[in-house]
Amino acid sequence: YPLHIAIDPAGASSSEREEQDGEAAGGEACSAPAPAAVELPPISEAEQRAYDGLFSSAAKGCATVSRAAAAPVFASASVGEGDVDHIWGLCVSARGSDTAASRSEDELSSAEFAAALHLAAAKVGDLLPGGLPLSMPGSLALYISEAEEAAEAAEAAEALRKDAARRMARAASSSPVD
Query: b/e string for 125-143 if b means 16 or more Cβ within 10 A?
Result: eebbbebbbeebbeebbeb
CA dihedral 94, 99, 103, 107 (to 10 degrees): -40
Integer Cα distance of 178 and 166 in angstroms: 22
How does pLDDT run across 22-64, given as a tens digit for each residue? Answer: 433 344 444 554 444 567 788 889 999 999 999 999 999 998 9
Phi, psi for 94 (deg, rounded to 5): -80, -5
Collapsed DSSP state (helix, strand, coil) of residue 80: coil
45 CB burial (10 A radius; 0-12, 13-18, 19+): exposed
Contacts of 79 (CB under 8 A, 6+ apart): 3, 87, 120, 123, 124
**pLDDT the model gives residue 11:** 39
What are 65's strand-pairing partners?
Answer: 108
**pLDDT the model gives residue 22:** 40
- pLDDT, greater one: 22 or 123: 123
**pLDDT the model gives residue 78:** 85
pLDDT at 177 over 70: no
How does pLDDT run across 74-87, given as a tens digit for each residue? Answer: 988 888 889 999 99
Span 104-122, average pLDDT: 90
pLDDT at 169 over 90: no
Q: Cα–Cα distances in Å, from 149 out to 8, 81, 98, 142?
A: 28, 30, 11, 10
Integer Cα distance of 41 and 139 in angstroms: 8
- pTM of the complete model: 0.66
How many CA atoms does the CB half-sphere of 142 hold within 13 Å? 8
Integer Cα distance of 153 and 147 in angstroms: 10
pLDDT at 174 over 80: no
At 105, which amino acid appears?
E
